[in-house]
Homo-oligomer: A and B are copies of this chain.
Amino acid sequence: MNGMTAEIVTIGTEIIIGDIVNTHAQYLSQKLASIGISVLYHSSVGDNPARMQEVLRHALTRCDLVIVTGGLGPTTDDLTKETICEMLEIPLVEDPRAKTEILEFFRRRGISCTENNMKQAMVPENGVIFYNKYGTAPGMAVQKGTSCVIMLPGPPKELRPMFDEQAFPYLKQFSDREIVSHHIRFFGLGESTIADRLGSLTDSSDPTLALYAKEGEVSARITACRPTREEAEAAMLPMMDTIRSMFGNDIYGIDAESLEQVVVRELLSRKCQIATAESCTGGLLAQKITSVPGASDCFQYGLVSYSNTVKYAQLGVPEWVLRKYTAVSRQTAFYMAKGALKNSGADIALAVTGLAGPGGGTPEQPVGTVYLAAATRQYTWVRHLTLGHGKGNERDMIRNVAAKNALDMARRILKNNSSL
């Protein structure tokens, strides 16, 4: 069944009234794409038997595979299984293992199991059953003619492991290829600069290459499609190597790792300590570092110095510097980093000062002006940024990009200074 097409049908009134966002459709679409199954439609409908039936019937006329989520619960509203089996003329039979598991589920929790709950032990005859580790409703797959329907429970905590561990392996039988992607993550270069340098690589059709930009970062997604994952990986390797050697340190990681994870990993492996002194980021930089488990072995000291008094009294930024250059200046950033290095005894200290807005901007120093400094015992570096478009609603973005730039400075210092 090469070139299989699919529709994802999510059943649940909470979705169509807007109480929750439909994350299942995205999750399942990504997974199906990775094995070359083309998702053509997403549909959502409430727990209404007539409308649900109409949507499912319509889905079966236009796609080979229909994945239905929700409506497998114990209440009389939950009619997914009954509707589909009626449409496909498949009888429902009691599954002994599902029954045992449901009884066991209730026994362990010390609550009694109602007649309704036993409805969940009914499964389509000759169907493939996906037992539920995290709830009572089993999932299932049925085939009839050229149609395949997969039913999954609505709660994400039940759906995701069930899909990954059982439905996905089941679906692989219909696929003769794997689509694998890697993300190369850049920091310090703009999207257009990267596109220029990549040149004709961006036109490559196999593997494909696409650039994405978001809050100061750029990533390149490289994708290959081959009969197996191993072959796809091999097909991407030359392009990955080329890009790695073209961009060197402007690449901070591959796939999911964040800047703070890279910095903490590097600090731990080098047994180095980092400290922070923050003005406009107000604790965000320290928070990012300490969000990484194990950060307590490389981070001890972070100061949020949100006033001149604290910059002077706690970090030793000279009063004449604050007076002559103001708090938002490369000089203040420099002395903040020096002060944090001294107070902490760390190997690297990062400092951020700037205007996150919405208020406080001037024509000479608009909102989005940020100075960063990174000090080691030998040197101190300063970076100047002008972020945003001068709109009032960019406070969060400015703080976030400023903190990421500080992490990037630490990352580059760790890369370039083996003697630290």
Residues of A participating in the B interface, judged by any CB pair closer than 8 Å: 15-18, 20-23, 25-33, 39-46, 48, 51, 54-55, 58, 62, 276, 278, 281-291, 293-296, 299-307, 309-310, 313-314, 343-344, 357-359, 395-396, 399
Contact A303 B300 (CB under 8 A): no
Q: Given contacts A21-B21, A29-B17, is CB(A302)–CB(B304) below 8 Å?
A: yes
User: Does the CB pair A299–B306 fall under 8 Å?
Assistant: yes
A298: shortest Cβ distance to chain B, in Å?
A: 9
The residue of chain B having its C-beta at the shortest distance from the C-beta of A303 within the complex is B303
B18 engages A39 (CB within 8 Å): yes
**Residue pair A282, B295 in contact (C-beta under 8 Å):** yes
Tell whether, in the assembled complex, residue A44 and residue B42 are in contact, meaning their CB atoms are under 8 Å apart.
yes
B45–A44 CB distance below 8 A: no
Q: Which residues of B contact A281 (CB under 8 A)?
A: 287, 290
Q: Is the CB of A21 within 8 A of B22?
A: yes
Bound complex: CA of A18 vs CA of B299, how far in Å?
Answer: 38
Task: Indicate whether A22 sits within 8 Å of B26 (C-beta atoms), given known contacts A40-B45, A286-B304.
Answer: yes
Q: How far is the CB of A308 from chain B (nearest CB, A)?
A: 9
CA distance A27 to B358 in the complex (A): 26
Q: List 22 A-B contacts (CB under 8 A).
A: A15-B26, A17-B39, A21-B22, A21-B25, A41-B43, A41-B51, A41-B55, A42-B44, A281-B287, A282-B289, A282-B291, A282-B302, A283-B287, A283-B290, A283-B302, A293-B357, A293-B358, A296-B306, A296-B307, A300-B309, A302-B304, A310-B344
Contact call A310/B300, Cβ cutoff below 8 A: yes
The listed residue (B16, B43, B285) touching A39 by CB distance below 8 A is: B16
- Identify A42's interface contact among B15, B290, B301, CB under 8 A: B15
A15–B301 Cα distance when bound, in Å, is 43
Q: How far is the CA of A277 from the CA of B294 in the complex (A)?
A: 20
Is the Cβ of B282 less than 8 Å from the Cβ of A359? no
> Which chain B residue has the least Cβ–Cβ distance from A212?
B19
Q: Smallest distance from the beta carbon of A56 to chain B beta carbons, Å? A: 12
Assembly CA distance A300 to B304 (angstroms): 7
Smallest CB–CB gap between A146 and chain B, Å? Answer: 19
* A26 x B21 contact (CB < 8 A): yes
A238 nearest CB across to chain B (Å) = 25
A405 to chain B, nearest CB (A): 16
- Which chain B residue shows the least CB distance to A42? B44
Chain B residues contacting A27 (CB-CB under 8 Å) are: 18
State whether A306 and B314 are in contact (beta carbons under 8 Å apart), knowing that A55-B41, A359-B293 are contacts in the complex. Answer: no
Chain B residues within 8 Å of A296, by CB = 306-307
Shortest CB–CB separation between residue A137 and chain B, in angstroms?
20
Contacts of A39 in B (CB 8 A): 16-18
| Contact partner, A301, options B31, B32, B44, B305, Cβ 8 Å | B305
Which B residues touch A41, using CB under 8 A? 16, 43-45, 51, 55
